[in-house]
């Protein structure tokens, strides 16, 4: 590519904007591919280089913000996981210095903590069938065993909540801050203890695949697993901290969704020239260097 005439970032966004038209050039019934010859036949309009750079700078700014927010989410997740493990795996929770350890089936645990069967405190409730063809687009997140798979206009469970993979991704654990719909490849969780604690405790468990042909999580096996139940004051304190972390993460996720929506709305208009950037005073890499 001649970079004296074409800005690489603009070319990338140009291809993204034209992806459907490019895909139409694909041949092959089983596995459609785009040959080099077919690709060369695709004709696209390219504005002057300064305009290319301005358009690329605008769209790149959105992508940079999205990436920065994704990093913030990763840091929040790492922080919450670190708190859980420090308090409930390593037993370095606030006030642990004055609490002796006692024997249990899980090994030494703090005095006044307990070990119970998962089924004593957690209920795994079957999700419901909701095929893609019958979903009505709306604000409600739809979860499968692999996580978020779409949207619907009606919820099944009030948030916040936990979704557990039942078939396919056995034992996968997902969190929803808002009301959601859990399809029939999942369970959703009801519990007498805070769901923030359940979320991390479930993620630590080893669930067995009970089906040979199609992977599946057995409730009976899951219910028989031992679950550490910390003192109520420790769980309540953890819940307050992690609920705030999850709420902040949810706000960042909403910001990412807004940025993506705005970028995707601007992309075709900027690429086509419908939105003219010629006279905009935008710093571009060569000028800023």
Cα distances from 222 to residues 52, 121, 165, 191, 251, in angstroms, run 56, 12, 12, 14, 33
Number of Cβ within 10 Å of residue 240's Cβ equals 11
pLDDT tens digit sequence for 224-268:
999 999 999 999 999 999 999 999 999 999 999 999 999 999 999
Q: Residues for the chain: how many in total?
A: 289
Cα distances from 245 to residues 95, 242, 252, in angstroms, run 22, 5, 11
What per-residue confidence (pLDDT) applies to 190?
97
What per-residue confidence (pLDDT) applies to 1?
61
Helix axes 49-88, 232-272, angle to 10 degrees: 170
Q: In what order do the strands lie in the sheet with 186-191?
A: 122-126, 186-191, 161-165, 173-176
Two tokens, residue 52: 């290319």
The whole-angstrom distance between residue 13's C-alpha and the CA centroid of its chain comes to 24
Q: How far apart are CA 51 and CA 14, in angstroms?
A: 13
What per-residue confidence (pLDDT) applies to 288?
45
- The helices-and-strands tally (H runs, E runs) of the chain is 9, 11
The helix (run of H) or strand (run of E) holding residue 72 is helix 49-88
pLDDT tens digit sequence for 170-190:
999 999 999 999 999 999 999
3-state secondary structure of 181: strand
Q: Domains of the chain by range and CATH?
A: 1-99+230-289 (no CATH), 114-228 (3.90.220.20)
The helix (run of H) or strand (run of E) holding residue 263 is helix 232-272
The pTM of this model reads 0.84
Smallest CA-to-CA distance from 81 within 207, 244, 248, 197 is with: 197
Q: Answer yes or no: are the C-beta atoms of 152 and 138 closer than 8 Å.
A: yes
Handedness of CA 115, 118, 121, 122 (dihedral sign): positive
pLDDT tens digit sequence for 1-44:
667 788 899 999 998 888 777 666 665 555 667 666 666 666 67
């Amino acid at each position: 590519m001649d970079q004296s005439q074409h800005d690489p970032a603009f070319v990338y966004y140009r291809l993204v904007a034209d992806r459907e038209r490019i895909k139409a050039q694909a041949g092959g019934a089983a596995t459609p591919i785009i040959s080099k010859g077919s690709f060369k036949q695709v004709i696209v309009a390219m504005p002057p280089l300064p305009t290319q750079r301005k358009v690329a700078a605008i769209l790149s700014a959105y992508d940079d913000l999205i990436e920065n927010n994704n990093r913030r989410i990763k840091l929040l997740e790492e922080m919450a996981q670190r708190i859980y493990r420090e308090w409930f795996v390593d037993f370095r929770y606030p006030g642990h210095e004055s609490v002796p350890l006692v024997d249990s089936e899980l090994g030494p645990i703090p005095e006044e903590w307990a070990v119970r069967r998962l089924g004593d405190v957690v209920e795994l409730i079957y999700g419901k069938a909701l095929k893609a063809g019958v979903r009505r687009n709306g604000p409600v997140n739809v979860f499968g065993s692999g996580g978020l798979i779409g949207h619907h206009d009606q919820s099944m469970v009030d948030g916040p909540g936990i979704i557990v993979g039942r078939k396919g991704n056995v034992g996968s654990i997902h969190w929803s801050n808002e009301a959601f719909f859990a399809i029939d490849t999942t369970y959703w969780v009801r519990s007498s203890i805070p769901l923030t604690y359940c979320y991390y405790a479930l993620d630590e468990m080893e669930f067995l695949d009970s089906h040979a042909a199609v992977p599946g999580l057995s409730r009976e096996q899951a219910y028989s697993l031992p679950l550490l139940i910390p003192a109520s004051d420790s769980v309540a304190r953890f819940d307050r901290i992690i609920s705030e972390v999850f709420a902040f993460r949810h706000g960042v996720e909403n910001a990412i969704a807004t940025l993506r929506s705005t970028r995707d709305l601007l992309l075709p208009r900027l690429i086509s020239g419908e939105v003219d950037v010629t006279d905009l005073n935008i710093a571009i890499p060569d000028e800023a260097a």
